[in-house]
Amino acid sequence: NPKTSGNGRYTYLSAWGYTLKKGGDEAAAKKFVGDLFSHVPVLDTGGRGATTTFMTNQIGDVLVTFENEAEMIAREFGRDQFEVVYPSVSAEAEPPVSEVDKVVDRKGSRPLAEEYLKYLWSPEGQEIAAKNYLRPRDPQVLAKYTDRFPKVDFLSVEKTFGDWRTVQKTHFIDGGVFDQIYPGK
């Protein structure tokens, strides 16, 4: 559900952005996304629930999820249970990571937190990410894992739609664009 789930928001924005990238305007995007969501039998509140609905309850034809989640699902349910398909265009979804000033100051852990963050972006940290099906940001590491990470034309949410506050107010607030195009079931 794009109103309650990050995965849902990225799915919605990816479909909208796909339409724009392919030369469509806002009206075409609204129609495409509305048509797409009209085929969704269940809007779960989050990714785990959507996985259960799709894999365990076998409701729906398609599960849209993050690429590392697809690998975890394959390990849990078996690779022969579904086919992973990558979109040609997708909103770039980066897991957020940061230090929290109040916490690191209170615990005296700022140096450790800063080193951890530096390590995440180091070649070694990026290798670990890639081995766990998290798309590395380091181009040299990414080049070594093209079998796991096919080329996708990623669009920046902020550059395409504005900041997240604007996205929320426009698309996902009660009465926003999503409510206007999704008839519900």
Please state, rounded to an integer, the average pLDDT across all residues of the chain.
Answer: 95
Q: Is residue 102 included in any domain, yes or no?
A: no
Q: What percent of the chain has pLDDT over 90?
A: 96
- Distance CA(30)–CA(181), nearest Å, equals 7
pLDDT at 177 over 60: yes
Does residue 172 belong to any structural domain of this protein? yes
Residue range(s) defining the domain that contains residue 167: 6-96+150-181
The answer to whether the CB of 152 falls within 8 A of the CB of 86 is yes
Residue 110 CB-half CA count within 13 A: 5
pLDDT, tens only, 17-61: 999 999 999 999 999 999 999 999 999 999 999 999 999 999 999
Asked if residue 38 belongs to a domain, the reply is: yes
Pairwise CA distance, residues 183 & 185, whole Å = 7
Residue at 22 is within a domain: yes
Give a yes or no: residue 136 inside a domain: no
89 in a domain, yes or no?
yes
Identify any residues that bridge with 91 across adjacent strands, giving them in sequence order: 155
Q: Quick one: which of 155, 164, 151, 172 has its CA closest to 8?
A: 172
Strand positions, DSSP E, the chain: 89-91, 153-155
- pLDDT of the residue at 15: 98
Q: What is the pLDDT of residue 183?
A: 78
Q: Considering the chain, what percentage of its residues have pLDDT values greater than 70?
A: 99
Q: Calculate mean pLDDT across residues 149-164.
A: 96
- Single pTM value for the model: 0.89
Span 98-122, average pLDDT? 97
pLDDT at 185 over 80: no
Residue 154's CATH number: 3.40.190.10
CA 48 from chain centre, in angstroms, equals 13
Residue 158 has pLDDT above 80, yes or no: yes
Total tally of structural domains belonging to the chain = 1
Asked if residue 104 belongs to a domain, the reply is no
- Local structure of residue 40 (DSSP, 8 states): -
Q: Rounded distance, CA 53 to CA 85, Å?
A: 19
CB contact at 8 A, 3 and 178 = yes
What integer pLDDT is reported at residue 96 of this predicted model?
85
Q: Encode pLDDT of 55-74 as tens digits.
A: 999 999 999 999 999 999 99
In a domain, 157, yes or no: yes
